[in-house]
Amino acid sequence: MDSKYLFTLVPLTPAAIRIVKANRRYHEIYEGAECLSFKATHKSLFPGRLISIGRQPGINDVILPEDGSSRLQCSFYLVSGGELMLEDDTTGHHTYIDWVDDNGQQGKYSLQGDPRCRIIPLANPRLMQIIFGQEVSFQFKWRIPIGSKTAKKNLASIAQATITSNQGMALTVQRDRNVDPTAYEARTSNTPNVPKEFDRKPLRQIHVYDTIGSGRGWECLKAVDLRTGTIWAVKESRNQKKEAAGERWKAAFKREVEALAHLSHRNIIRLEHHQGWSLESPVQIFFQLYKGNVHSLLRKPHRCLENPSAPESWVPNFISQTLDGLSYIHKHRMVHQNIKPESILYDNGGPNNSVMFYISGFSLVVPKGFSGGGAGIPSFMAPDTTRYGDCDSASDVYSFGVTLLEVLGKYCISESRLSVDEWRAKLMIFNAKHYASYRDTLVPGAQLPKMQPGHSRIQSLVDNFLVRKSLKCVLEQDPKLRATAADARRNLLVDYPLYVNGRHQRNEAVPQPRREAAHRPRRVVAPRPRVMFKSRSEEDKLRPIIIDAHPRREAAHRPRRMVAPRPRVVFRPRSEEDKLRPIVIDAHPRRIRLRVGPRL
C-alpha cells in the first residue's frame, strides 16, 4: 500500500490545472495528463486527515489560488472501516460531488448534513466530479483495485492507526444536531410498532457493494452508509406488483421488525434500523454484517453414502449458542418456523476470537400457539407440522435436529427423495443391524405426504443407533415427548461437550423422554474437624492448643472372627437300665442337651 496511490484528481478546468502546477509535491502524469495523486499513508498537516485543501500553508497540504476561493476549506480522511470521507469544513456550500452512473445523476452522493460530508464509495461510476468553489473541478479516480478485500483491509488498518494516534482530539464538530424534517419518513399503516429506540430515525442513504443472499421477495445487500461509512447487511424487498390500495406484501417485513425489536440476546441477530414503509418505497432492514451462514461451513461436497468420522470443532458451540437463542425466543412466546442452516449466521466475535452463532430469518415468526399451519422449508418441518399443520416451539426443536444432522454429515434433506433400496444401502454402509427390514412409513391424511419418507428415514437413524443417544430428544416423532430447547441443549452437550481452556466443560444431563433418568452423582459429605477437650494443668494453660483441622485417619473396622464351638460330649457311668437306652447328642453351638430315647 505504501508504494501505490489511493486516488487521483484529474483537472477538468483551467483553474484546476493551475492548482496542479502549484502543488508539485503531489504531481504525477496519469493517463497522459498532469494530475494530483495521493497515497493512503500520507500524513496531513491537519491532524487526523489524509489530505487537507485550502489557502493556509500551515494546515493545508494542497494550496488553492487566490481567485475567489478564500473561504474554501475541505479535507479527505479515512473512517474506521476503511471508507474515504470528503468533508466541507466551511460554513457555506463550497464543495460538491457530481456522481453520474448507469441510472443517471444520483443526488444521494452529494454532500449533506452539518458539517457537509459524504462517503466516496469504492466504485467506478461513469463520471465522478469534485467541484471546489465556482471554477475548480476535478475528476476523481480510484487507484486501488475495486472490490479487493486485501486493499480494503489495509485501508481499515491505516484508518485505525490514525484514529488511535489522534485519540482524544475533536476532529469533527457537529454544528447542528437537529436533522432536517424531510430526512424522516412519514408513518403509514405498514409502519411497525416498535420501542422508541427503533422508531422515528432519519432515513439512511446507501451505496450497494454486493448481493450476499436472497430469498422469496427479498435480497440481502452489502452496503455502505454514505453518511457514516459503516458497512451494513441490508435486507431489501424486491420489486413487487403494484396494488391499488396499501402494500400488503410489506406485512411479512413488518412482522419481522416487530419481533426483532423486542428480542435482545447475544445469539440472535440485532435490529439496527428500518425504513421504506411509505408507498412505492422498498423496505430496507439494517443488520450487522457477518461472515456467513452455517450452510457455508458444511463439508463440500456432501457425500450421502459416506459416514463422517468426527464432528467439526465448532459443533459444540453451534449447539450451545443456537439452542440458547432458540430457548430465549420461546420464552418470549414466539415460534421461529424457519430454523435451517441458512438462517443461522456466524462470525468470529466470541472470546479469543472464537466462532459465534446468531439466529436470523424472522420473516415467518408467529406467536406461540398459532394454529394457521406451518411455514418455511418443508424438508426441515416437524412431523406434527407436515401431518396435522400444528406449529409450536417443539416444531422449532425438531427443525434444529434436522439441521444438526446436516451439520454432522449424517443426513441431508435431499435423501428424503431416495428410493427405499438406496436408503437401505446407506444403512448397510453405516453398519445398521436391521437395514434390510426398513420400510417407509406412510401416514394417511397427512397434509404433506411427500415429506413422510424423510421423517421415517430420520427415525431409522435413531432406531439403529447411528446417531448419538442425545439426538433422540430433539428428533422424537411425538411432540409431547420432544425436549424443550433448554433441555435439548443440556442433553446434547453431554455427547458434544464444550471446550474451556483445553478441557471439556461438564454438563449434567436432564431427564430425557421415554423415562431415561439422568445420572445423579453421589453426595459426599466432608467430615468435620475433630476437636478434643481435656483438663489442663497450670503449665499447659500457658501453651497454645493447636487443633489439627484435618480428620484423623481411623483404623478400618475388622469384624470379630466367629468360631463355632465344637459339640460338648458328657460321659457318665451308666446303670444297667440306661445301657438299654440310646444316647442322642444335639450338636447345637450354644448348648448341648442329652435326650433319653423311648424304652425299647
pLDDT at 513: 45
Q: Cα-flanking dihedrals φ and ψ of residue 238, to 5°?
A: -80, 170
**pLDDT at position 303, please?**
74
What was the pLDDT predicted at 61? 93
Residue 2 is predicted with a pLDDT of 44
- Which of 192, 263, 273, 277 lies closest to 234 in space, CA to CA? 273
Instruction: Walk along the chain (600 residues) and give the pLDDT tens digit of each residue.
Output: 445 899 999 999 998 999 999 999 999 999 899 999 999 889 899 888 999 998 888 889 998 877 655 577 889 999 988 999 999 887 766 788 999 988 888 888 888 888 889 999 999 898 999 988 788 899 999 999 888 888 888 888 888 888 777 654 544 545 444 555 557 788 888 899 999 888 888 899 999 999 998 888 899 999 999 999 999 999 999 876 666 466 888 888 999 999 999 999 999 999 999 999 988 889 999 999 999 999 998 887 777 777 777 788 899 999 999 999 999 999 999 999 889 999 999 998 777 778 899 999 898 888 876 656 567 788 899 998 888 888 889 999 999 999 999 999 888 888 888 899 999 999 998 888 888 888 888 888 888 888 899 999 999 999 999 998 899 999 999 999 999 999 999 999 999 988 655 455 544 444 444 444 555 666 666 666 665 655 666 666 666 555 555 556 666 666 666 666 666 665 566 666 666 666 555 555 555 555 555 554
Q: What was the pLDDT predicted at 516? A: 46
- Residue (of 121, 74, 66) closest to 99 by Cα position: 121
Alpha helices in 333-483 (DSSP H): 383-388, 393-408, 420-429, 452-463
Instruction: Specify the pLDDT at position 553.
Output: 65
Spatial distance between the Cα atoms of 349 and 355, rounded to a whole number of angstroms? 6
User: Tell me, what's the pLDDT at 508?
Assistant: 43
Measured CA to CA, the distance from residue 436 to residue 445 in angstroms comes to 27
What is the reported pLDDT for 184? 79
Closest C-alpha to 205, from 182, 221, 186, 228: 228
Q: What is the pLDDT of residue 600?
A: 46
Cross-strand partners of 315: none
DSSP-derived 3-state class of residue 537: coil
Span between the terminal Cα atoms of the chain, in Å: 130
- What is the model's pLDDT at position 175? 45
Strand partners, 101: 104
Tell me the C-alpha distance between 236 and 239, whole Å.
Answer: 10
Query: Residue 291: CA atoms inside 13 Å, Cβ hemisphere, count?
Result: 13
Q: What is the C-alpha to C-alpha distance for residues 365 and 163, in angstroms, rounded to an integer?
A: 42
Q: Closest Cα partner for 79 from 177, 211, 224?
A: 224
The pTM (predicted TM-score) of the whole model is: 0.76
pLDDT at 183: 73
User: Is the separation of the CB atoms in 232 and 269 below 8 Å?
Assistant: no
**224 pairs with which residues across the strands?**
207, 231
Q: Which of left, alpha, beta for 241 (phi over 0: left; psi -120 to 50: alpha)?
A: beta
User: 63: which strand partners?
Assistant: 54
What confidence score (pLDDT) does residue 223 get? 95
How many Cβ atoms sit within 10 Å of the Cβ of residue 227? Answer: 17
CA distance linking residue 427 with residue 437, whole number of Å: 11
How do residues 105-139 score in pLDDT, each as one tens digit?
888 888 888 888 999 999 989 899 998 878 889 99
Cα dihedral 528, 529, 534, 538, rounded to 10, equals -140
How much is the pLDDT for 7? Answer: 95
- All domains of the chain, ordered by start, with CATH? 5-165 (2.60.200.20), 208-240+248-289 (3.30.200.20), 293-504 (1.10.510.10)
Nearest to 131, CA basis, from 237, 13, 235: 13
CA dist 425 and 140 (Å) reads 64
